[in-house]
Structure 1
Amino acid sequence: MIWLLRHAEAAEGAPDSERPLTEKGERQSKVAGAALARLGVKIDLCLASPKVRAADTARLACAPLGVEPQLEPKLSGGPFDAEALAAGHDQVLLVGHDPDFSMAVHKLTGAQVRLKKGGLAGVQRGELLVLLRPRELEAIAG
């Protein structure tokens, strides 16, 4: 399964690559990881955009999953091949940006989605199996 997590809420400002998460964004990130853990998801690999807001989202989300995120420049902006990045792993969490992640879901499944900040999609064998907004992740996390 390929999990795509859009970075959580970030502060405005420049430079774009250095924008940190807000307090709300930190909570959203922790909740995403807690929800995945509660669902029993065992992430084999976490790849994140090197932009601060995505790297921090990955770090906070992966903590309860026991996985150390790796920075992946291909997720920093523009189209990317999610299947190639996930090759050789069962459960991969990718953390990055929109519209790139919504377009990746479309490329993988044909589904038209718009991931909210802190939103999560789960795709397996060309099918969109999971699409959760931050408030739904919060309900799952408990």
Structure 2
Amino acid sequence: MIRMILMRHAKSSWEDDVADFDRPLNRRGLRDAPRIAAELSERGWCPDVVVHSAAMRTTQTWELMASHFPEVSQVVSSKSLYHGSPADIRTVAENLPTSCGTSLIIGHNPGWELAVHQLSSQNVRMTTANAALFENDASHWQDAFAESSAWRLINVLRPKELDT
């Protein structure tokens, strides 16, 4: 079995006069990213590999989460996930190493909401710092997206629903 966490970046700031790609996290984002990481870790959802969009806000989201996951073997910053679609997420996942049992893929809407819907057939709002937890019985990432393979949405973690 393999597990995939699709996470939307934490809340970003619109105050700075910078390009969208370079927008940093705001105060709420700085608070929520480590809270989600702590919850994932507590539940045993510790990624082996992390792939995040190369945008500033996704990079910062991962950096604030990293201390909760000291066993991560690989972190990849991907420009293809900046305006990533479900197909881009699938490409990233299919290229994960066979040693990866749990992945964390951090990116942006609308691609993340579309991917969660395609994988679960459920309409899930992926607001900032939400993390959708999926399992699949496939042994290899390359097989996980075959027509005969099904992803199960286990839970969606939302910062506003966590204990403070």
State TM-score, norm by structure 2.
0.77
Q: Which residue of 1 aligns with 2:94?
A: 84
CA deviations 1:110-139 (Å, max 9, x no partner) are 222111101110111211111121122x32
Distance 1:3 1:110, change over 3 A: same
Identical columns (%) = 27
State TM-score, norm by structure 1.
0.88
Distance 1:61 1:85, change over 3 A: farther
Higher relative helix content: 1
Match of 2:152 among 110, 118, 127: 127
CA deviations 1:89-110 (Å, max 9, x no partner) are 2100011101111111122222
Q: How far apart, in 1, do the equivalents of 2:67 and 2:113 lie?
A: 25
Determine if contact 1:121/1:132 at 8 Å carries over to the other structure. yes
Greater than 3 Å deviation, 4+ residue runs: none
Task: Specify the structure having the higher radius of gyration (Cα).
Answer: 2
Determine if contact 2:83/2:111 at 8 Å carries over to the other structure. yes
CA shift, 1:41, in A, is 2.1
Q: Which residue of 2 aligns with 1:118?
A: 129
Q: In structure 2, what residue type is equivalent to 1:7? A: H
Q: Which residue of 2 aligns with 1:95?
A: 106
Q: In structure 2, what residue type is equivalent to 1:23? A: R
Q: How far apart, in 2, do the equivalents of 1:49 and 1:134 lie?
A: 20
Q: Which residue of 1 aligns with 2:52?
A: 48
Q: Structure 2: which 5+ runs fail to align?
A: 137-150
Q: Structure 1: which 5+ runs fail to align?
A: none
Q: Which residue of 2 aligns with 1:7?
A: 9
Paired residues, what number?
A: 139
